[in-house]
Amino acid sequence: MGREEQPLILVSNDDGIGSAGLKSLAESLSELGEVMVVAPDRERSAAGHSLTLSRPLRASHLGQGWYSVDGTPTDCITLAVMGLLPRRPHMVAAGINHGSNMGDDVTYSGTVSSAIEATLQGIPAFAISVTGDGDFDFRASGQFAKRLGEEILRRGLPRDTLLNVNMPNAPPEAIRGVAVTRQGRRVYSETVVQKIDPRGKAYYWIGGAPPMWEQLGETDYEAVSAGWISVTPLHLDLTNHRVIDDLKAWGLSLNGGPPIERAEESEPPHGRESKANRISVTS
């Protein structure tokens, strides 16, 4: 198979260009096609889906299809797809994140946001993370990324849908299997710690207590805790469709007067697909 016919796979992360998980993901997926890596030049964990609009961005080519960008994970995907890559990628993979991205945490996650950005651009994408906070074993996650990537390249993904994978930090022989799950729910506890600095002023640390989780059944957290690989299909539509009719019944209006019935409008063109899709060069 010639280089041109091979699928192009974009790999990114939020732990930064030097992370061991990124290298492991790029290596594993190189068996499925041509891999290019565009990742932040430093750790940007918990950057969420933030996009840099207030300053210019710079990309450095490090050789062999690897680029670092001085921006967020979302900046990396945007720059890659709009210009750094020679053609549109067939798939985007983000990770392998050092630490889990489960339940409510997915909205903070730069790793998951990379996959969200790709999905917004209409490119099938998955995020993959290993639980724990050190001594990561990426063998099982590398193996599973390849297996899942193969399937995504063959089948594609439904519109506005990405896959969020969380793995136990265990050797391949200790993994029990693959569970398709839903997002778990955190139990929020005391997570901001206030201290006093040497000049007598207060400062704060976010994230003091270890996370606790609700036992809801079939969640990402419960699967991973029991030694399973968790695969959660995430959807970009955050609308709570079940609440729409209830909310209409509130009869909201600007001044408390009767609500005005809105005439049926034709559907607007869908999201990002109409957006210009390359970097434009101006001097």
By CB neighbour count within 10 A (0-12 exposed, 13-18 middle, 19+ buried), where does 137 fall?
A: middle
131 touches Mn ion (CB under 5 A): no
Comparison of 8 and 131: residue with beta carbon closer to Mn ion: 131
Contact 10, 73 (CB under 8 A): no
Contact 23, 98 (CB under 8 A): no
Q: How many residues bind Mn ion (CB under 5 A)?
A: 4
Residue in this structure with the two tokens 């901001």, named with its chain if needed: 192
Least distance to Mn ion from the beta carbon of 40, Å? Answer: 10
Least distance to Mn ion from the beta carbon of 110, Å? Answer: 6
Stretch that binds Mn ion, among 7-15, 49-57, 138-146, 273-281 (CB under 5 A): 7-15
CA 155, CA 170: separation in Å to the nearest integer? 28
DSSP 8-state secondary structure symbol assigned to residue 271: G
Comparison of 34 and 75: residue with beta carbon closer to Mn ion: 75
Closest residue to Mn ion, Cβ-based?
45
164 touches Mn ion (CB under 5 A): no
232 touches Mn ion (CB under 5 A): no
Comparison of 48 and 149: residue with beta carbon closer to Mn ion: 48
Comparison of 97 and 119: residue with beta carbon closer to Mn ion: 97
15 touches Mn ion (CB under 5 A): yes
Least distance to Mn ion from the beta carbon of 276, Å? Answer: 30
Q: Which two three-digit tokens encode residue 21?
A: 């998980």
Stretch that binds Mn ion, among 9-17, 33-41, 183-191, 266-274 (CB under 5 A): 9-17
What order do you get walking across the sheet with 228-235 strand by strand?
59-63, 66-69, 34-40, 8-12, 91-98, 125-130, 161-167, 228-235, 177-180
14 touches Mn ion (CB under 5 A): yes
Q: Could you say which of 12, 45, 78, 164 contacts Mn ion (CB under 5 A)?
A: 45
Least distance to Mn ion from the beta carbon of 29, Å? Answer: 18
Least distance to Mn ion from the beta carbon of 111, Å? Answer: 6
Comparison of 32 and 102: residue with beta carbon closer to Mn ion: 102
Stretch that binds Mn ion, among 10-18, 64-72, 74-82, 178-186 (CB under 5 A): 10-18
What's the sign of the alpha-carbon dihedral 47, 53, 55, 59? positive
Give every CB contact of residue 223 below 8 A, 6+ residues apart in sequence: 166, 179, 181, 229, 230
Q: Could you say which of 78, 97, 113, 131 contacts Mn ion (CB under 5 A)?
A: 97
219 touches Mn ion (CB under 5 A): no
CA 102, CA 190: separation in Å to the nearest integer? 19
Report the amino acid identity of residue 23.
K
CA 228, CA 219: separation in Å to the nearest integer? 11
Nearest CA among 50, 138, 59 for reference residue 99: 138
Stretch that binds Mn ion, among 41-49, 146-154, 175-183, 263-271 (CB under 5 A): 41-49
Binding site for Mn ion (CB under 5 A): 14-15, 45, 97
